[in-house]
Amino acid sequence: MNTADFIFQKTTKTVEKATYTWQTPSNIALVKYWGKSEPQLPKNASISFTLNNCHTTTTIEFERKVNQEKSISFELFFEGKKKDEFKPKIAKFFERILEYCPYISEYNMTIHSENSFPHSSGIASSASGMAAIAMCLISLEKELTPNLPEDFYTQKASFLARLGSGSASRSIEGPLVVWGKHPDIEGSSDLFGVKFPYKVHPVFEDYQDSILLVDKGEKQVSSTVGHNLMYNHPYAEQRFKQANENLQKLSVILQEGSIKDFINLVESEALTLHAMMLTSNPYFILMKPNTLEIINKIWEFRAQTNSNICFTLDAGANVHVLYPKAEKQRVDDFINTELLKFCQKNHYICDNTGVGAQAL
Ligand code: DP6
């Protein structure tokens, strides 16, 4: 598939009115995407676990315009309230995808969206949010051009989501999604995410992610600014190479079930991501003192108990604690007795791997 394949082919079919609701999850990267080129193409391949409980639910009502005015028009409601301050980001997204979905300018759209996690929790809502909008658009497209293969719609949904936010391309399917062309991952592409195509060892099935909410405040540096700082970054080329090598290694680890190697690779990826932030110019730090407290406690616990717990980080201070399902009780006890005190208002979210977008 290439970009031109995603341009909508006009049909004679019209849809006057339609409403779709989709629930789409957040995801947590194991090999990180950090650095991109226009239009939202990754500098290296990445892979993530799709989450289950952290998700966005979005309804879009499409009503065909009576006049033939060709401009993008929509209203946006977040958690029941009109949110004009969120509109520019969505407007930019619609403009970006207009050449692939020209039909959106023929409708008045009303968007209702809500997250299962608190808005200011530091959990990025752009991945789940953009994926949900993309799924609603694809539902309309499916009615307009119903006879295309199912794979096409899934790929186009991920392709559109990617143009909204890179990591959103990995929120359409699950439980493991690769985004970015990689010689070892069959079918992988820079244009959209694909399900990890090989059989995964049972130890990684239903993997758990307890998200420790260390800092719920607004990030000082957005991901978009962070990505841009990878231009002219002294370690960028080496980092992109390393990420691709790590994905190659992780592909084997996931198939063979070597959990100690998984721990080593995933934690190294998280710290490398933050090392890129520490060494960019301007430099910045998104970890907080409690992020480091938690990491040290995890290392201590692992050394003492031989647990398979490990951590990863996204572009923020929160810590994602990853572990096999078989260890859930033990890790829950550990979190409750040792880690909760480092979380804002003792708040953490229990999540696990999920299957991706669901129609409601
Ligand atoms: C650190 O997808 O949020 O979470 O493409 O600019 O929207 P944009 O960035 P975004 O970046 C995610 C960065 C990350 C790593 C990852 O999810 O792979």
CB of 285 closer than 8 Å to CB of 277: yes
Chain segment 284-327, per-residue pLDDT in tens: 999 999 999 999 999 999 999 999 999 999 999 999 999 999 99
- Distance (Å) from CA 223 to ligand 1 centroid: 6
Residue 220 scores a pLDDT above 90: no
Report how far residue 196's alpha carbon sits from residue 253's, in angstroms, rounded to the nearest whole number: 13
Ligand 1 within 6 A of CB of 315 = yes
Q: How confident is the model at residue 11 (pLDDT cuts 50, 70, 90)?
A: confident
Residue 120 scores a pLDDT above 70: no
Q: How confident is the model at residue 218 (pLDDT cuts 50, 70, 90)?
A: low
- DSSP codes of every residue in 99-152: TT-GGGGGEEEEEEEEESS-TTSS---HHHHHHHHHHHHHHHHHHHSTTS-HHH
- Distance (Å) from CA 126 to ligand 1 centroid: 9
Q: What local confidence, expressed as pLDDT, does residue 253 receive?
A: 98
CB of 322 closer than 8 Å to CB of 312: yes
Ramachandran category for residue 255: left, alpha or beta (phi over 0 → left; psi -120 to 50 → alpha): alpha
- DSSP codes of every residue in 241-294: HHHHHHHHHHHHHHHHT-HHHHHHHHHHHHHHHHHHHHTSSS------HHHHHH
Nearest to 148 by CA among 162, 135, 138: 138
Report how far residue 297's alpha carbon sits from residue 70's, in angstroms, rounded to the nearest whole number: 57
Residue 161 scores a pLDDT above 90: yes
The CB density around residue 143, as the number of other CB atoms within 10 Å, is 13
Report how far residue 335's alpha carbon sits from residue 210's, in angstroms, rounded to the nearest whole number: 9
Ligand 1 within 6 A of CB of 46 = yes
> Domain 3-198 class?
alpha beta
Cβ-based neighbours of 156, under 8 Å, separated by 6 or more: 6, 100, 138, 141, 192
**Mapping DSSP to helix (H, G, I), strand (E, B) and coil, where does residue 28 land?**
strand
Ligand 1 within 6 A of CB of 351 = no
CB of 349 closer than 8 Å to CB of 247: no
**Mapping DSSP to helix (H, G, I), strand (E, B) and coil, where does residue 298 land?**
helix
Q: How confident is the model at residue 216 (pLDDT cuts 50, 70, 90)?
A: confident
Report how far residue 262's alpha carbon sits from residue 57's, in angstroms, rounded to the nearest whole number: 32
**Mapping DSSP to helix (H, G, I), strand (E, B) and coil, where does residue 27 land?**
strand
User: Which among 182, 223, 230, 277 is the best mutation to test ligand 1's pocket, defined by most ligand atoms within 8 Å of the CB?
Assistant: 223
162 Cα nearest atom in ligand 1: 5
Residues of the chain with CATH 3.30.70.890: 206-352
- Distance (Å) from CA 314 to ligand 1 centroid: 8
- Distance (Å) from CA 78 to ligand 1 centroid: 22
Query: What percent of the chain has pLDDT above 70?
Result: 98
Radius of gyration, alpha carbons of the chain: 20
Half-sphere exposure at residue 293, Cβ-oriented, CA atoms within 13 angstroms: 13
- Distance (Å) from CA 252 to ligand 1 centroid: 24
Chain segment 26-71, per-residue pLDDT in tens: 999 999 999 999 999 999 999 999 999 999 999 999 999 998 788 9
Instruction: Return phi, psi of residue 253, to 5°.
Output: -60, -45
Chain segment 245-258, per-residue pLDDT in tens: 999 999 999 999 99
27 Cα nearest atom in ligand 1: 17
168 Cα nearest atom in ligand 1: 2
Report how far residue 258's alpha carbon sits from residue 2's, in angstroms, rounded to the nearest whole number: 35
Report how far residue 122's alpha carbon sits from residue 214's, in angstroms, rounded to the nearest whole number: 9
Ligand 1 within 6 A of CB of 227 = yes
Ligand 1 within 6 A of CB of 309 = no
**Mapping DSSP to helix (H, G, I), strand (E, B) and coil, where does residue 5 land?**
helix
Q: How far is CA 358 from the centre of its chain?
A: 15
Average pLDDT over residues 174-202: 98
State the architecture of 206-352 in CATH terms: 2-Layer Sandwich (3.30)
Ligand 1 within 6 A of CB of 276 = no
Residues of the chain with CATH 3.30.230.10: 3-198
